[in-house]
Amino acid sequence: MKVFIAISNLTLASQLTLRWLQSGHFPVSNLYESLCFLTWTSTLLQLLIERNYNSPVIPALFTPFSLLTISFASFALPEQLQLTGNLVPALRSSWLVMHVTVIMCSYAALMLGSLLSLAVLFTNVSEELQIRGSSIGIGGFKTNFSNLTKPLVENSSKLFSDAEYLDNLSYRIITLGFLLLTFGLISGAVWANEAWGTWWSWDPKETWALISWLVYAAYLHARITKGWQGRKPALIALFGLFVVIICYLGVNLLGIGLHSYGWFLS
């Protein structure tokens, strides 16, 4: 399975590179390209995780997600949305690469981390589950800080049960996604001010991105200050997954706002 994922990742990287050379701009300018980039990021993240943790849960959750994403891009989108086009003047900026890339990476991390929360819900994780390898190491955790410097695979094999590690891994990935989303929102505000003269316009995409940020901020707040582990934060993460999907696909496919790529109502 790892070989299949690695080949898929390289194939997607080659496709994106060719589209970049063909169009002359970074290939995240329409829904098809962003879905391909999301799949590439997801498969890369899966490969990095599986280097440290060999569990059948990882490919069982991540591989179908990647297959569904690329299948939707290839077979569900109209052909005209899969073509490379010219950028509108506002998108001909170096901010395109930084802002959109960071946002798409945050989506991938948040979605995959939330999918791991689904596994937590179906495992026997007690409410007293203790996170011993916090990626932040602050707040109400009973953390042994010497363990934070040890390899992740050592922690997983010697210190954690499988359920504990899945919960902790989900937390780590969501934390990464939250930080990327925060940076993406800030860079987007700077870009908007440069292009349209306003930091925030309450565009539907901006609004749903803010809602996504608030949901995952609540998730991290519950874990750091309230000491929640296991099923409770997993439910918040799954709600966050639903919100991110609306933010990414729902707004785009309705063809509303500056961030929409059009489809149903366009």
Which DSSP string corresponds to 145-171? GGGGGS-HHHHHHHT--HHHHHHHHHH
Residue 155 forms part of a structural domain: yes
Residue 264 forms part of a structural domain: no
Residue 259 forms part of a structural domain: no
Identify the domain containing residue 28 by its residue range.
2-81+91-254
Residue 86 forms part of a structural domain: no
Q: Note down pLDDT in tens along the chain; length 266 residues.
A: 789 999 999 999 999 999 888 888 888 878 888 899 999 999 999 999 998 887 888 899 999 999 999 999 899 888 877 777 666 666 666 777 788 899 999 999 999 999 999 888 887 544 445 444 444 444 433 433 344 334 444 444 443 467 788 888 999 999 999 999 999 999 888 877 876 777 777 788 888 899 999 999 999 999 998 888 888 889 999 999 999 998 888 776 665 555 555 454 44
> Which pLDDT belongs to residue 260?
53
User: What is the CA 100 to chain-centroid distance, rounded?
Assistant: 12
> Which pLDDT belongs to residue 198?
77
Report d(CA 69, CA 192) in Å as an integer.
28
Residue 263 forms part of a structural domain: no
> Which pLDDT belongs to residue 89?
62
* Closest to 116 in 3D by CA, of 180, 37, 38, 172: 172
Residue 221 forms part of a structural domain: yes
Residue 266 forms part of a structural domain: no
Number of domains in the chain: 1
- pTM greater than 0.85 (yes/no): no
Residue 193 forms part of a structural domain: yes
